[in-house]
């Protein structure tokens, strides 16, 4: 790391591992498109197809259907899934110096640097290279996925001859023949190499190449177009061969004079556009209407605003400060910017989890955007609203006559989980989505959005609780579901599920009361046939919700049977057997007291008022001993709760394990893509953990602590129309109202009115 805004490598290692991990760490994305960092000139020819160097570019929400082969075709089991697609390759640029081809794997690299500039929103590769015949050249390559124009990806390629003049040949390709990455050994990735896109046409118009392709099953189209601009005299020719369009430039190099190529690539899909080819032409014209420098300026302005609203600064540890900057940058690269998409666990950095959306979005990523850029959080909810009808269909498949049940993993709205015990059975997805809507409302007071869309989701998903659950001996039980912990499945009364369902049902009643006098209320009630007695049913189920509690241990058991199981000492498990799901049969895992990730502890974080301090402390100490942290979602939640319960050093240790997870490749799978929810989790570990921030119906709460190795830290949050900056030092906490109206805040349980600046002593 260099500074807080730059991540760079000064030594470019060219082994398979480093090449592939850098594809992830230095990828370019803007929430709509994502491009892994493949060398424009390609890789050494000794790498075989099995090495899976697949130049990869993605569109968020663009998908194809693939068959799932169920061994036993029982009713309702998923037999088809969606996968995110690798679309046409627009990255290829080859340079020939008097016939010698530039390659990182031949000649001599005199100096090399790969840099991610998070203030400017670009990646830069600098190479000083000597050819096998002694020609020396300096090459600078700048790549950008534009936040200003989401359809646009640019490559600026500069060549500076150092010790020669001569002929230069540049070949810039646009290839529609693409494969998807596959790994048959990893269940989180597609297991077979497949052609998902069929090129329909490859054409040239006004020196722009257009490749239009269609999926075979989902019947979606994508158009990619490329324009190459060489900023000096040249001869140009186009070659089209088997859906691969190559623009070939012949020019003359002069020693000490720079050659500059700008490659513009535009991506458009038929999900968002009625005619993606026509839209691509318009988008290319838009990109070419301004200088590249203008686009760079807009990129920098967008990010300046982002950092002003979202940045965190750690004083006293520059390495962790830079790692946090990296994580927050990846969040804005990954998050969808419209209602047609969401956030995949790997963002747009790789094929891991096949581009599916999970609960990560609502419970790990939205908490960041809700209090920093709520317009993005609203977009994510808009995506869930857009797929509400398919959630209704999913509910019918699972036997519910009314209501909506969101799929566990999906792209376009239908369930993709082939293994239902740790997939479709996680009914808490409904509560997670409702929780995110409630949090959005608490942060913005956007009652108009609740009336228009949020309430419908909350009511329809709440209906599932009163159907899947039932009263027994005066209590409301929810049986045969799975909680967040994927090492314990199909259980009765999972604590996380039940307490979240209680919160969800209570808020369904509150929202009903909030909007019942509005004009839109009657339309909504008629649309979904909502009855007053249903609202009473919500209220009664919430009031009598059964929440497991063990009197002897004074903890919340994870579920009714969890404490009956044999404990499995984590210290006895060979290190090479982690993650456990790759080495033990699911039933073996389900029969032990062992957790992949926080379950009850997660519930205590999001709904801390549901239990006493004693119960939460006892539960933390109990579950910490049996949690493997095989999920990247795990350490940040333990960090937050350790901070909440006064275990400062432990909270910091968990935070450290979170913040550099991908930069250090701690889980040995960053090659497949970043762990985006974990990155947002590192934000939560500071703001919700060390900062003690909580957003509740009663108001905005803070209880800051300061890790002893830091001198200070600061962050910003947005509540309604106000932006608040919080700086925590050893002796004091300073709250500054940077913009907006005065706000009531609670600090260490005491109520204050924040008008300009408020200083609270910590001594």
Residue 63: the pLDDT is 97
3-state secondary structure of 345: coil
By the 8 A CB rule, do 335 and 365 touch? yes
By the 8 A CB rule, do 459 and 537 touch? no
Identify the DSSP state of 422: G
Angstrom distance (rounded) from CA 21 to CA 671? 5
**Three-point CA angle 358, 52, 676, nearest 5°:** 25
Mean per-residue pLDDT for 247-255?
Answer: 96
Angstrom distance (rounded) from CA 590 to CA 593? 8
**Three-point CA angle 637, 639, 641, nearest 5°:** 70
Residue 350: the pLDDT is 95
Angstrom distance (rounded) from CA 741 to CA 722? 6
Q: Is the peptide bond before 579 cis (omega within 30 degrees of 0)?
A: yes
φ, ψ for residue 142, nearest 5 deg: -115, 130
Q: Is 185 a residue whose pLDDT tops 70?
A: no
Identify the DSSP state of 670: G
Residue 182: the pLDDT is 61
Mean per-residue pLDDT for 419-429?
Answer: 97
Mean per-residue pLDDT for 414-433?
Answer: 97
Residue 183: the pLDDT is 60
**Six-digit token string for 547:** 């929440």
Sequence-ordered alpha helix ranges (H) in 15-95: 16-25
- pLDDT category of residue 551 using cuts at 50, 70 and 90: very high
Mean per-residue pLDDT for 18-32?
Answer: 97
Contacts 24+ apart (CB under 8 A), 746-755: 746/698, 746/699, 746/700, 746/701, 746/702, 747/701, 747/702, 747/703, 747/704, 748/702, 748/703, 749/703, 751/699, 754/724
Residue 184: the pLDDT is 54
Residue 499: the pLDDT is 98
By the 8 A CB rule, do 706 and 713 touch? yes
- DSSP readout, 352-399? GGGG-B-THIIIIIHHHHHTT-HHHHHHHHHHHHHTHHHHHHHHHHTT
| Residue 380, C-beta contacts closer than 8 angstroms, at least 6 positions apart | 335, 336, 342, 343, 361, 362, 365, 366, 369, 436
**Three-point CA angle 433, 436, 442, nearest 5°:** 145
Residue 706: the pLDDT is 97
Angstrom distance (rounded) from CA 565 to CA 557? 11
Give the domain 6-306 fold: Beta-galactosidase; Chain A, domain 5 (2.70.98)
Q: Is 725 a residue whose pLDDT tops 60?
A: yes
Query: How do residues 342-383 score in pLDDT, each as one tens digit?
Result: 999 999 999 999 999 999 999 999 999 999 999 999 999 999
Share the mean pLDDT of the chain: 95
φ, ψ for residue 389, nearest 5 deg: -60, -40
Angstrom distance (rounded) from CA 153 to CA 144? 6
Q: Where are the domains of the chain?
A: 6-306
Q: Is 49 a residue whose pLDDT tops 90?
A: no
Query: How do residues 254-292 score in pLDDT, each as one tens digit?
Result: 999 999 999 999 999 999 999 999 999 999 999 999 999
Residue 3: the pLDDT is 47
Which one is catalytic: 221, 283, 486, 534? 486
By the 8 A CB rule, do 598 and 484 touch? yes
Query: How do residues 477-515 score in pLDDT, each as one tens digit?
Result: 999 999 999 999 999 999 999 999 999 999 999 999 999
- Give CA torsion, residues 302, 305, 309, 311, to 10 deg: 80
Angstrom distance (rounded) from CA 352 to CA 15? 21
486 as an active site residue: the answer is yes
Q: Is 50 a residue whose pLDDT tops 80?
A: no
- How many Å is the Cα radius of gyration of the chain? 27
3-state SS record for 168-232: EEEEEEEECCCCCCCCCCCCCCCCCCCCCEEEEEEEEECCEEEEEEEECCCCCEEEEEEEEEECC
| Residue 593, C-beta contacts closer than 8 angstroms, at least 6 positions apart | 562, 563, 565, 566, 567, 568, 626
Percent of the chain scoring above 70 in pLDDT = 97
- pLDDT category of residue 763 using cuts at 50, 70 and 90: confident
Q: Using CB atoms within 10 A of its CB, is residue 490 exposed (0-12), middle (13-18) or buried (19+)?
A: middle
Residue 227 to residues 152, 379, 689: CA-CA distances in angstroms?
11, 31, 48
**Six-digit token string for 357:** 């959306």
Q: Is 540 a residue whose pLDDT tops 50?
A: yes
Query: How do residues 592-612 score in pLDDT, each as one tens digit?
Result: 999 999 999 999 999 999 999
Count CB atoms within 10 A of the CB of residue 592. Answer: 17
By the 8 A CB rule, do 215 and 200 touch? no
- Write down the pTM of the prediction: 0.96
Residue 1: the pLDDT is 40
């Amino acid at each position: 790391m260099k500074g807080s805004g730059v991540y760079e490598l000064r030594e470019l290692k060219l082994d398979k591992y480093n090449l592939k991990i850098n594809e992830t760490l230095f990828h370019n994305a803007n929430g709509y498109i994502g491009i892994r960092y493949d060398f424009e000139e390609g890789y050494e020819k000794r790498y075989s197809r099995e090495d899976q160097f697949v130049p990869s570019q993605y569109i968020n929400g663009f998908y194809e259907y693939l068959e799932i082969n169920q061994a036993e075709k029982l009713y309702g089991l998923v037999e088809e899934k969606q996968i995110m697609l690798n679309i046409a390759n627009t990255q290829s640029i080859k340079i020939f110096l008097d016939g010698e081809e530039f390659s990182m794997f031949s000649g001599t690299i005199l100096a090399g640097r790969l840099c991610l500039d998070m203030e400017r929103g670009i990646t830069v590769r600098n190479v000083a290279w000597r050819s096998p015949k002694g020609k020396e050249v300096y090459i600078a390559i700048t790549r950008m996925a534009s936040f200003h124009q989401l359809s646009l990806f640019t490559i600026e390629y500069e060549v500076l001859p150092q010790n020669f003049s001569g002929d230069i040949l540049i070949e810039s390709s646009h290839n529609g023949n693409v494969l998807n990455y596959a790994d048959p050994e990893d269940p989180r990735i597609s297991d077979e190499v497949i052609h998902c896109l069929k090129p329909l046409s490859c054409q040239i118009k006004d020196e722009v190449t257009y490749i239009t392709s269609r999926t075979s099953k989902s019947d979606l189209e994508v158009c990619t177009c490329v324009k190459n601009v060489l900023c000096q005299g040249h001869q140009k020719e186009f070659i089209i061969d088997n859906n691969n369009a190559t623009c070939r430039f012949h020019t003359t190099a002069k020693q000490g004079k720079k050659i500059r190529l700008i490659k513009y690539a535009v991506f458009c899909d038929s999900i968002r556009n009625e005619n993606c080819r026509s839209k691509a032409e318009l988008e290319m014209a838009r990109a070419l209407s301004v200088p590249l420098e203008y686009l760079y300026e807009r990129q920098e302005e967008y990010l300046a605003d982002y950092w002003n609203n979202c940045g965190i600064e750690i004083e006293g540890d520059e390495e962790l400060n830079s790692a946090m900057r990296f994580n927050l940058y990846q969040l804005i690269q990954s998050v969808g910017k419209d209602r047609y998409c969401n956030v995949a666990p790997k963002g747009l950095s790789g094929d891991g989890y096949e581009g599916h959306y999970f609960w990560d979005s609502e419970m790990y990523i939205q908490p960041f955007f809700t209090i920093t850029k709520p317009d993005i959080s609203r977009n994510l909810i808009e995506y869930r609203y857009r797929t509400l009808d398919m959630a209704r269909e999913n509910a019918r498949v699972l036997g519910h006559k009314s209501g909506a049940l969101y799929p566990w993993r999906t792209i376009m709205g239908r369930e993709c989980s082939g293994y239902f015990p740790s997939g479709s059975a996680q009914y808490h997805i409904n509560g997670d989505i409702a929780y995110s809507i409630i949090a959005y409302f608490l942060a913005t007071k956007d009652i108009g959005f609740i009336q228009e869309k949020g309430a419908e989701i909350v009511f329809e998903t709440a209906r599932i609780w009163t159907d899947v659950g039932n009263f027994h001996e005066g209590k409301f039980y929810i049986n045969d579901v799975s909680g967040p912990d994927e090492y314990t499945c199909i259980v009765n009364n999972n604590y996380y599920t039940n307490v979240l369902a209680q919160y969800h049902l209570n808020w369904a009643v509150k929202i009903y009361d909030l909007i019942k006098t509005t004009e839109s209320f009657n339309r909504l009630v008629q649309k979904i046939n909502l009855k007053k007695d249903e609202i009473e049913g919500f209220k009664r189920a919430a009031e009598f919700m059964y929440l497991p509690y063990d009197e002897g241990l004074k903890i919340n058991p994870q579920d009714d049977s969890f404490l009956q199981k044999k404990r499995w000492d984590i210290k006895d498990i060979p290190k090479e057997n982690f993650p456990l799901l790759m080495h033990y049969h699911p039933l073996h895992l389900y029969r032990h007291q062992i957790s992949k990730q926080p379950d009850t502890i997660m519930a205590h974080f999001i709904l801390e008022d549901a239990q006493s301090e004693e119960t939460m402390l006892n539960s933390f100490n109990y579950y910490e001993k049996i949690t493997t942290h095989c999920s990247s979602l795990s350490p940040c939640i333990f960090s937050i709760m350790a901070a909440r319960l006064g275990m400062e050093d432990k909270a910091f240790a968990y935070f450290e394990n979170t913040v550099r997870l991908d930069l250090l490749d701690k889980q040995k799978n960053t090659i497949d893509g970043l762990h985006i929810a974990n990155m947002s989790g590192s934000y939560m570990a500071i703001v919700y953990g060390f900062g003690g921030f909580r957003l509740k119906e009663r108001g905005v709460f803070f209880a800051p602590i300061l890790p002893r190795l830091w001198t200070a830290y600061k962050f910003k949050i947005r509540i309604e129309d106000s932006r608040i900056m919080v700086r925590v030092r050893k002796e004091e906490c300073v709250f500054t109202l940077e913009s907006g109206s005065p706000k009531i805040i609670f600090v260490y349980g005491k109520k204050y009115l924040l008008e300009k600046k408020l200083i609270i002593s910590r001594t």
